[in-house]
């Protein structure tokens, strides 16, 4: 292992025959240098293979080009949710443009996340963070406010305690889903929801109830899960085991993976999709097009969502961001939904 060269700005300055300050000016593209000097400095840097030490830069300029993201779900489930990787990739697409990096952390619970964010911010490791998966009475809003930490909350304003927020209008989307199923003639509609603690789960639950009330659907049943395929399968099995006149003829899922699991359960129980029961997924990853029948889904642009969240975080850091929703998921009908018989 050869010892690293450790070239510093001083070496470059010496080589170019200028002061440290001049090198700094050149590399930050600030005025006050002649073109000739600038060129000499760049040439010297290139010859020495120098790149500025970002740690030193952060220390003196009081800013870091890093944003934080902590995700709080069991790894076992995370891997399966196409949502997060796509979301992260959207975030990154914006960060990259601004030569910013993403500090990622998987945590086990909100308290651990609060501790992580606290450490990141107070240790000046990040210039801001993205907060996801809000629940009712989430402690993170208060914590962020107390720290004066720039954050953008991914979630409906009713959950995010006044933080700058970006969200998808789940209530409207879920209402559209229910109306679509009702229009197909379904009266007994069920929903296999996500984690009960999560705010958006509650929002969807309330919206389904409200839509059912307006449409005069009496037989709506909703259950919650841990988002895993296994739990989705269990829930579906339970729903489809109801006595014949009581069994739902349409099931709405809170993510793709549970819908896929539901499809298998239906097959296992000899319930035909979509002839006997219609299934509707949420998120619409590629998975929905790989099953048989293909899965109808509430579809949204997760990558774009992540990108918008990142842009908003930069806005917050600059002190000029406002909360706003992104496009509402739209229904993409495929092979798993059909008129009720």
Partner DNA sequence: GCGCCCTCCTAAACCGGTCCAGTCAATGAC
Partner DNA sequence: GTCATTGACTGGACCGGTTTAGGAGGGCGC
Interface residues toward DNA, by CB under 7 A: 6, 8-10, 17-25, 27-28, 30-34, 36-38, 50, 52-53, 56-57, 59-62
Quote the least distance from Cβ 264 to a copy of itself, whole Å: 4
# residues near a copy of itself by CB under 8 A = 68
Residue 193 interacts with, from a copy of itself, DNA, none (CB under 5-8 Å by kind): none
- Among 59, 322, 327, 330, the residue binding a copy of itself under the rule CB under 8 A is 59
Cβ proximity of 227 and 194 under 8 Å: yes
String of contacts with a copy of itself for each residue 84-123, x by CB under 8 A: xxx-xxx-x---x----xxxxxx-----------xxx-xx
Instruction: Give yes or no for residue 125 binding a copy of itself (CB under 8 A).
Output: yes
Instruction: Give yes or no for residue 136 binding a copy of itself (CB under 8 A).
Output: no
Quote the least distance from Cβ 168 to a copy of itself, whole Å: 17
Quote the least distance from Cβ 39 to DNA, whole Å: 10
String of contacts with a copy of itself for each residue 276-305, x by CB under 8 A: ---------xxx-xxxx---------xx--
- Among 53, 214, 246, 339, the residue binding a copy of itself under the rule CB under 8 A is 53
Residue 308 interacts with, from a copy of itself, DNA, none (CB under 5-8 Å by kind): none
Residue 104 interacts with, from DNA, a copy of itself, none (CB under 5-8 Å by kind): a copy of itself
- Among 264, 311, 325, 332, the residue binding a copy of itself under the rule CB under 8 A is 264
Return the residues of window 162-221 that contact a copy of itself according to CB under 8 A: none
- Among 33, 64, 177, 281, the residue binding a copy of itself under the rule CB under 8 A is 64
HEC profile of the chain: CCCCCCCCHHHHHHHHCCCHHHHHHHHCCCCCCCHHHHHHHHHHHHHHCCCCCHHHHHHHHCCCCEEEEEECCCHHHHCCCHHHHHHHHHHHHHHHHCCCEEEEEECCCHHHHHHHHHHHHHCCCCCEEEECCCECCCHHHHHHHHHCCCEEEECCCCCCCCCCEEEECHHHHHHHHHHHHHHCCCCCEEEECCCCCEHHHHHHHHHHHHHHHHHCCCCCEEECCCCCHHHHHHHHHHHHCCCHHHCCCEEEECCHHHHHHHHHHHHHCCCCCCCCCEEEEEECCHHHHCCCCCCEEEECCHHHHHHHHHHHHHHHHHCCCCCEEECCCEEECCCCCCCCC
Residue 341 interacts with, from a copy of itself, DNA, none (CB under 5-8 Å by kind): none
């Amino acid at each position: 292992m050869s010892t690293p060269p450790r070239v510093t700005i001083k070496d470059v300055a010496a080589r170019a025959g200028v002061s440290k300050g001049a090198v700094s000016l050149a590399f930050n593209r600030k005025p006050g240098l002649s073109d000739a000097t600038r060129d000499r400095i760049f040439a010297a840097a290139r010859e020495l293979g120098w790149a500025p030490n970002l740690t030193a830069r952060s220390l003196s300029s009081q800013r870091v080009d890093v944003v934080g993201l902590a995700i709080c779900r069991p790894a076992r489930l995370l891997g399966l949710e196409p949502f997060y990787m796509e979301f992260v990739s959207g975030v990154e697409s914006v960060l990259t443009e601004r030569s910013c990096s993403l500090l990622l952390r998987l945590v086990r619970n909100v308290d651990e996340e609060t501790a992580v964010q606290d450490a990141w911010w107070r240790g000046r490791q990040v210039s801001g963070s993205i907060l996801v998966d809000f629940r009712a009475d989430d402690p993170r809003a208060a914590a962020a406010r107390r720290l004066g930490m720039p954050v953008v909350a991914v979630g409906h304003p009713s959950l995010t305690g006044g933080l700058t927020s970006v969200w998808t209008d789940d209530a409207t989307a879920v209402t559209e889903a229910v109306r679509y199923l009702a229009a197909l003639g379904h009266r007994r509609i069920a929903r296999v929801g996500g984690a009960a603690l999560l705010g958006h789960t509650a929002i969807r639950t309330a919206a389904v109830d409200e839509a059912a009330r307006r449409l005069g659907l009496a037989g709506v049943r909703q259950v919650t899960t841990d988002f895993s395929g296994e739990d989705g399968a269990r829930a579906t099995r339970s729903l489809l085991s109801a006595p014949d006149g009581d069994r739902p003829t349409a099931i709405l899922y809170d993510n793709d993976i549970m819908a896929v699991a539901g499809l298998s359960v239906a097959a296992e129980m000899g319930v035909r999709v979509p002839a006997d029961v219609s299934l509707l997924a949420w998120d619409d990853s590629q998975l929905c097009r790989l099953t048989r029948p293909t899965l109808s889904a509430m579809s949204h642009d997760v990558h774009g969502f992540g990108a918008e969240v990142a842009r908003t975080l930069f806005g917050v850091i600059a002190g000029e961001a406002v909360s706003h929703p992104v496009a509402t998921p739209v229904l993409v009908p495929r092979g798993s939904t059909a008129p009720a018989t």
